């Protein structure tokens, strides 16, 4: 499987369930996709405890590839060239590596019935045959690797960027008078809050900007007490089509705008108390 391989001792891989597994090697793997294109993976870790061959979708994007995920499959391209595709199975997108087998070049002779022997060697194709079977399965997963807590973000090498994003969010909250500090009234239970930290990527896979949002844990609200109705400000696609048709009919120009921190511009009729921790 590995085209190059270097044994490693003393290194461990930290798993999502807080367990660790030994890393025994590092190398390069070249996958031949069903499209005939090759996908080269460098610095591949050999971890015997992992039974699946995992490929990070985020790392592919950072390496210049483009991943398009649909409901049941994904398409992998690079520089507008199709590389391969895979289909979802048990929450992961499965890729298959195609094997090539060389054709047999063994000299053979056929003996005819009677006393005469054929002088000519049977014609055999010397081109490589493509086997119908597939090699090891490789599973692609999307590893966002986003900080889960504000402490994790501020202790990372990207701390200055996360700090700038957090300060920008706090500034927007103050400018929009989203909330005010006050003592909790007796009998009231505050909702918790959480920082959502995300990286926004450009089309080429590089980081565009860092986003930080302070959100309340609204799933703990109780209907009739903390809220009376819900509203989702999402436009129906039929409404968009009507507007586009009207613009085309009257030769109008359409301009799309984006409201920064649009969520903070909404007004609530209810009084919601949120804790600071």
High-pLDDT (> 90) share of the chain, %:
8
Burial (0-12, 13-18, 19+ Cβ within 10 Å), 197? buried
The domain limits of the chain are 2-100+127-141, 150-265
92-132 pLDDT, tens digit per residue, is 677 655 544 443 333 322 333 333 333 444 444 444 433 33
**Residues constituting the chain:** 277
Place of tokens 């300060």: 167
Place of tokens 């390496």: 63
> Token pair for residue 41?
């993976």
Split at pLDDT 50, 70, 90, the class of 157 is confident
> Token pair for residue 55?
């490929």
123-156 pLDDT, tens digit per residue, is 444 444 333 333 445 554 444 467 888 888 888 8
> Token pair for residue 76?
């992998």
> Token pair for residue 154?
């501020």
- What's the CA gap between 144 and 70, in Å, rounded? 18
233-247 pLDDT, tens digit per residue, is 677 889 889 999 999
- What's the CA gap between 270 and 40, in Å, rounded? 56
Residue 218: CB atoms within 10 Å:
13
């Amino acid at each position: 499987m590995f085209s190059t391989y270097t044994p490693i001792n003393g290194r461990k891989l930290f798993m999502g369930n807080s367990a660790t597994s030994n890393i025994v090697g590092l190398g390069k793997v070249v996958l031949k996709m069903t499209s005939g294109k090759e996908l080269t993976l460098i610095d591949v870790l050999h971890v015997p405890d992992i039974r699946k061959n995992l490929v990070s979708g985020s790392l592919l994007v950072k390496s210049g590839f483009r991943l398009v995920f649909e409901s049941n499959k994904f398409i992998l391209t690079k520089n507008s060239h199709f590389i391969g595709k895979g289909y979802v199975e048990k929450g992961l997108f499965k890729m298959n590596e195609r094997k090539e087998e060389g054709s047999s070049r063994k000299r053979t002779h056929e003996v005819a019935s009677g006393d005469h022997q054929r002088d000519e060697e049977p014609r055999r194709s010397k081109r490589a045959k493509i086997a119908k079977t597939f090699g090891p399965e490789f599973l692609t997963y999307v590893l966002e690797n986003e900080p889960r807590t504000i402490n994790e973000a501020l202790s990372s090498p990207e701390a200055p960027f996360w700090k700038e994003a957090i300060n920008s969010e706090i500034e927007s909250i103050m400018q929009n008078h989203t909330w005010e500090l006050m003592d909790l009234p007796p009998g009231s239970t505050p909702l918790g809050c959480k920082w959502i930290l995300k990286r926004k990527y450009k089309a080429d896979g590089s980081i565009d900007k860092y986003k930080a949002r302070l959100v309340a844990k609204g799933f703990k609200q109780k209907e009739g007490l903390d809220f009376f109705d819900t509203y989702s400000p999402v436009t129906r696609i039929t409404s968009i089509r009507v507007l586009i048709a009207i613009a085309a009919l009257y030769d109008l120009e359409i301009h799309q705008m984006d409201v920064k921190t649009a969520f903070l511009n909404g007004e609530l009729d209810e009084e919601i108390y949120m804790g600071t921790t």
